[in-house]
Structure 1
C-alpha cells in the first residue's frame, strides 16, 4: 500500500531552483532510501514534505489525504541528522514533554516499553548532554514513537556514529519496519544501509533520476547479478546530466 505520495514538489531560493518537479511514492512497511550527492536536494525535500520549509508548488498525500491537514501531519515523525533534544532534560522528561505536546493519556507504560525495546531504560534519569550520539538518536526515536506515527523521515542517520551505533540504529529500523511503519531515509552512505533497504530513490541537482527496487535499478544501471548499491548509485549519477 502506498502510504505517502509526493507530487511535483518545487522549491527555489531566489532565482536558484533547488527542487524540480520532485515526485515519488513510498510504501507501507518498507525502508526507502533517498540517495544523492551533497547538494542534491534530499534534506530540502524532507523539510518541504514536513512543511518545515514552504514549498513553491506541489503537494504531499499521506494515505490519500493532503499533508496540509494538521491531523495528517501528526502521523509523521522526523528524525534530523543531529538529534533535536534538550541537553538538560532527562530521557524521561523528553518523553513527558511529548506526552504533553500531543495530549497523551496513560503514556507511562508505553514509554517504559519503548525505552526497554531500545535498551536505554537504564538511562531513564540521565540528562541528554551526557549521552552519545547513538543514545541521543534512540531518545529521538523513542519520542517519535510515543504518539504512534505511521511514517518516519530520517535525515543522514549514520554520520558521526561508530560501528556499534550503526548496527544498533539498523536494528531499530528493522523493528519499525516489522511493525509496519513506513521509513524514508536520506543518506549518501549507502554501504551502511543496503542490506535492509527495500527501495531506492536517486536524486541529483534537485530532481529525481530514478526510483525502484534494487533489482530494477540494477537493470537500469546496466549491471547483471547482485551489485553493491554504491556501484549502482555511481553508475546512474555519473551518466545522468541533471
Structure 2
C-alpha cells in the first residue's frame, strides 16, 4: 500500500505541495487529477524518491527511499527513460538482475507478447518510437510483480490496442491486491477503472472521493473536477 503523510515541497520559496496526505490501499485503484500547476508532478516525483521533501511516504509500510520499498514498487514515468544502447530484452534482463528475480523469462516473454513487442526484442532503445518505449517501460515495471505501482500519464503515445490492454492490466493488478496510483489529466481515459479519485489544486488535495460517493452525488467526475479546480492552472510544478 501507499501512505502519504503531510507531504510538503517548496521550490525557490514557492509552495508546490502543501501538507498533502492520502492513502492507496491494497487492491485499490486511485487516480490523481489536477490542472497544470496543481502539484501532481511534484507529488509523483516525491513518491518515486526523486525529490527531497518534508513529511513521510511509506510504500508497503516502509520508507519510500528504502531498498525494501523499492523492491515492492513499480513506476512508469510520463517520459520513458530507456538506455539508448540496450535492447528491449536487455532492459528486462537488467531489471531482473537488479531485483534478483528468478525464472523471469517466461513472464517477460508474456508481457512483450501482450504489448506486441515480442518481435522487437533485439531493437535498441534509441530505435524505438515513444509509444514502443512506453510499452517497454510498462513491461519492466510489471516484471517485478509490484505490491504498489504508479503510472504517470500512462496513455500518452500508446495505440488504441495497447491502451485497452493497459486498462485490463489495471484491473488485474487490483485483483492481485496491488495498490495502483494513476496520475493523469485526461479524465475520460480512466473513467471505468478507478476506485478513488484524488483531485489536487494549488498544492493541496481539494477532494478525496470514492466511486460510490460520486455515484451518490449523481454528478459526473468532470463536472466535480471543474467545480473544485475552477478549471484553472498554470505551469505544472
Alignment TM class, shorter chain as reference: 0.7 to 0.9
Q: Could you tell me which residue of structure 2 aligns to residue 184 of structure 1?
A: 181
Q: Equivalents in 2 of 1:5, 1:123: separation in Å?
A: 37
| Conserved 8 A contact 2:87-2:122 | yes
3-state secondary structure, aligned to 1:24:
strand
Q: Equivalents in 1 of 2:99, 2:78: separation in Å?
A: 23
| Conserved 8 A contact 2:60-2:72 | no
TM-score (norm 1): 0.86
Structure 2 residue aligned with 1:229, among 208, 221, 233?
Answer: 221
1:59-74 maps to which residues of 2 (within 5 A)? 59-74=56-71
3-state secondary structure, aligned to 1:22:
strand
**For residues 11-65 of structure 1, what are the alpha-carbon distances to aligned partners after superposition, in whole Å with 9 as ceiling and x for unaligned?**
001211111000001111221100000111111101111221000x210122333
Q: Equivalents in 1 of 2:104, 2:23: separation in Å?
A: 32
Q: Could you tell me which residue of structure 1 aligns to residue 149 of structure 2?
A: 152
| Conserved 8 A contact 1:211-1:217 | no
Q: Could you tell me which residue of structure 2 aligns to residue 22 of structure 1?
A: 20
Q: Could you tell me which residue of structure 2 aligns to residue 238 of structure 1?
A: 230
How far has the Cα of 1:137 moved from its partner? 1.9
Q: Could you tell me which residue of structure 2 aligns to residue 116 of structure 1?
A: 113
**Which protein, 1 or 2, shows the higher relative CO under an 8 Å CA cutoff with sep ≥ 6?**
2
Structure 2 residue aligned with 1:143, among 137, 140, 144?
Answer: 140
| Conserved 8 A contact 2:8-2:16 | yes
Q: Could you tell me which residue of structure 2 aligns to residue 41 of structure 1?
A: 39
Q: Cα gap change, 1:176/1:123 in structure 2, threshold over 3 Å: closer, same or farther? A: farther
Q: Equivalents in 1 of 2:173, 2:131: separation in Å?
A: 17
How far has the Cα of 1:135 moved from its partner? 2.7
Q: Could you tell me which residue of structure 1 aligns to residue 51 of structure 2?
A: 53
3-state secondary structure, aligned to 1:195:
coil
Q: Equivalents in 2 of 1:87, 1:6: separation in Å?
A: 34
- Bigger CA drift: 206-215 or 18-27? 206-215
TM-score (norm 2): 0.88
**For residues 68-87 of structure 1, what are the alpha-carbon distances to aligned partners after superposition, in whole Å with 9 as ceiling and x for unaligned?**
43212221111111111123
Q: Could you tell me which residue of structure 2 aligns to residue 210 of structure 1?
A: 207
Q: Equivalents in 2 of 1:206, 1:94: separation in Å?
A: 35
Q: Equivalents in 2 of 1:239, 1:120: separation in Å?
A: 38
Q: CA RMSD in A?
A: 2.2
Q: Cα gap change, 1:93/1:209 in structure 2, threshold over 3 Å: closer, same or farther? A: same
| Conserved 8 A contact 2:214-2:221 | no
3-state secondary structure, aligned to 2:145:
coil
Q: Cα gap change, 1:87/1:239 in structure 2, threshold over 3 Å: closer, same or farther? A: closer
Q: Could you tell me which residue of structure 1 aligns to residue 126 of structure 2?
A: 129
